[in-house]
Amino acid sequence: MARSISNLAAVPPSSDMKALVEKQRAYFETRVTLPLQWRRERLLALQRAAHKYEAEILSALKADLSKSPEEAYLTEVGNIYGELKTALKNVKAWMEPRRGSAPLIIQPARAYQYADPLGVTLIISPWNYPYQLSMAPLIGALAAGCTAVLKPSELSPATSGVLKRMLGEAFPEEVVSVVEGGVEASQALLAERWDLIFFTGGTQVGRVVAEAAARHLTPTVLELGGKSPCIVDRSADLEVTARRIAWGKYVNAGQTCVAPDYVLIPPELKGRFIDLVQKAVRSFYGADVSTSGDYGRIVSPRHYERIAALAADGQIAFGGERDAPSRYFAPTVITDAPLSSPLMQEEIFGPLLPLVDCPSIDDAIRFVRARPKPLALYSFARDAAVNERVLTETSSGGAVANDVCVHFAVEGLPFGGVGESGIGGYHGQASFDAFSHKKSVVKRPFTLDMKLRYPPYGGKLGLLKRFL
């Protein structure tokens, strides 16, 4: 899908895609999606479908990414049950107009913010967490009163197939429809006019999506990626730090948008840190990681070859074992990678953890600030003042002190990027907000029509200064 907008513009219209969009738009225009009852019924239908197809989803995630049922539930299925529960509990309150204040010059008046559903939406989801990253935005769309077309990744075909059956059974296609296929299907969908495009994926393709959306001035939510750093201070509990970083890095074989991408660490701590990461890996996956049922595989041969090429950019401190036919790549720590190398320039999205010598927190903050803003940032220190410095003096989509990745699971916090790591956020109420237009509304009576605002204005400056 990563091609220029000129090529996208040249894609001939697809009659099937156009008919699907028109069918959803005609349904949305009936305004049947506006009431609370419609939204709750759709969310309940999605909840029933999620429970009914749970076993099939777990099997599909095993087939696509070799995820164990436990990891799949921890990182995908359980999150969706939580999001559904939150939406069902709170959608009524989210729909209520939010009061604002009106200035004296227009009194008497009442000011509100209405949440209008944006309309017919397109959700493009990725392959690395193919269930969770499809369902979470869909929950927001239905809670907000929108219809949705979901385009799952062709690189996770088992999960995509289950989603098509599951959602096809739960909803008519004018409410929710799943479109499978590869690049051509994505191009055809992006050629249509949408009321919102919600895309999760890499920054390069995110630019293509943004260009395509700009042709129709379509708003976008772009959940992208980047190189998420870990900063380790001398005051950190190094064993806990290594264990938490190792978990976040190697879960899903490193194919996580908020995975630690590299570690900035004082040189004298590096050797012990490597030993402790290796110890953690053994405790997670055993002496031979390739035989662990809890360690995943790289999604495709192309991505396997990409990771193998990145691994050549530095010295392997431990790990590096691999098997191309099974797409197994062991948890790996790398040192001495040149900062100009692809390993240190590109998002890794695999089980490679580069370490960078960084003598001080000042050096670490300068290092992070000199690079594009990451999707996530992790700071490890017993000294709370050090963590606070890192959190306030750097910019990232999200951040965690003394752990990794866990902010993604907090439904009360919006999740998203900043700069090249993304635009917009979702989860909980933020998902509802992402699929809604915040319409400003002022209500006034016909009485008490203050003459101060009408011409002629001669001699009114003093009064205007008092009322404005």
Q: Which of 316, 297, 210, 208 is nearest to 254 (CA)?
A: 297
**236 vs 229: CA distance, rounded Å:** 16
Strands 196-200 vs 147-151: parallel, antiparallel or unpaired: unpaired
Count CA atoms closer than 13 A to 228's CA, side-chain side.
32
| CB contact at 8 A, 438 and 96 | no
With beta carbons less than 8 A apart as the criterion, state whether 382 and 351 touch: no
Which is catalytic among the residues 146, 230, 257, 405? 257
Alpha-carbon distance of 18 to 11, in angstroms, equals 13
Other CB atoms within a 10 A radius of the CB of residue 107 amount to: 12
Q: In what order do the strands lie in the sheet with 436-443?
A: 98-100, 110-117, 436-443
Residues 110, 366: Cα–Cα separation, whole Å = 48
Active-site residue, 192 included: no
Distances (CA, A) of 253 to 68, 432, 434: 12, 31, 30
Is 283:249 a contact under the CB 8 Å cutoff?
Answer: no
Closest CA to 131 of 88, 191, 172, 71: 71
The token pair that represents 417 in the structure block: 């990027």
- CA proximity to 298, closest of 254, 243, 337: 254
CA separation for the pair 218, 212 (Å, rounded) = 9
* CA nearest to 225, candidates 128, 298, 151, 153: 128
**How many residues are listed for the chain in this entry?**
468
> What does residue 121 show for φ and ψ, rounded to 5 degrees?
-120, 155
Query: What is the rounded CA–CA span in Å between residue 452 and residue 65?
Result: 68
- Does the active-site annotation cover 257? yes
Give the active site residue among 223, 347, 411, 420. Answer: 223
Q: Please tell me the distance from the alpha carbon of residue 377 to that of residue 3, in angstroms, as a whole number.
A: 30
- Phi, psi at 129, each rounded to 5°: -130, 70
- Between CA 101 and CA 110 the distance in angstroms is 7
Among all chains, which residue has been given the structure tokens 């989210």?
A: 94
Q: Which two tokens stand for residue 424?
A: 């917009």
Task: With beta carbons less than 8 A apart as the criterion, state whether 134 and 179 touch.
Answer: no
How far is the C-alpha of 428 from the C-alpha of 160, rounded, in Å?
A: 24
Positions marked active-site? 223, 257
